Chain A
Amino acid sequence: MNEDTYAKELIAVLDKGLASLRPEVTSKLQISRARACALASQRAYPQHFKSAHSLAWVDWVRQHRTVLVGMLLIMALGGATAVWQSSSGKDDSTVSIDTELLTGDLPVNAYLDGHLSKWVNTSSAY
Chain B
Amino acid sequence: MTSTDALARFLAEVERRAYRQAAFAVRDDQAALDIVQDSMMKLAEKYANAPAEEYPLLFQRILQNTIRDYYRRQKVRNFWITAVSFLAPGRDDHDDEEAMEYVQAADEQENPLNQLATGKNLALIESAIEKLPTRQREAFLLRYWEEMDITETAAAMGCSEGSVKTHCSRAVRALSVLLQDMKE
* A interface residues (Cβ-Cβ under 8 A, vs B): 3, 6-8, 10-11, 13-18, 20-21, 25-26, 28-29, 32-33, 35-37, 39-41, 43-44, 47
Report A-chain residues with C-beta under 8 Å of the C-beta of B36.
29, 32
- Shortest CB-to-CB span from B121 to chain A, Å, is 6
Q: Given the complex of chains A and B, what is the CA–CA distance between A14 and B130 in angstroms?
A: 13
Q: Given the complex of chains A and B, what is the CA–CA distance between A16 and B123 in angstroms?
A: 12
Is the contact region of chain B dominated by helix, strand, or loop, or is it mixed?
helix
Is the contact region of chain A dominated by helix, strand, or loop, or is it mixed?
helix
Query: Within B21-56, which residues are at the interface with A (CB < 8 Å)?
Result: 29, 33, 36-37, 40-41, 43-45, 48-49
Report A-chain residues with C-beta under 8 Å of the C-beta of B12.
33
Bin the interface of chain B by size.
35 or more
Q: Is the CB of B44 within 8 A of A32?
A: no
Q: Is the CB of B33 within 8 A of A29?
A: yes
Residue of A nearest to B6 (CB): A40
Q: Given the complex of chains A and B, what is the CA–CA distance between A71 and B145 in angstroms?
A: 65
Residue of B nearest to A17 (CB): B122
Most chain B CB within 10 A, of A20, A29, A36, is at: A36
Q: Is the CB of A13 within 8 A of B121?
A: yes
Q: Is the CB of B16 within 8 A of A37?
A: no
Report A-chain residues with C-beta under 8 Å of the C-beta of B172.
3, 6-7
Report B-chain residues with C-beta under 8 Å of the C-beta of A25.
19, 29, 33
Kindly state whether residue B17 has any CB partner on chain A within 8 Å: yes
Q: Given the complex of chains A and B, what is the CA–CA distance between A13 and B8 in angstroms?
A: 26
Q: Given the complex of chains A and B, what is the CA–CA distance between A37 and B37 in angstroms?
A: 11
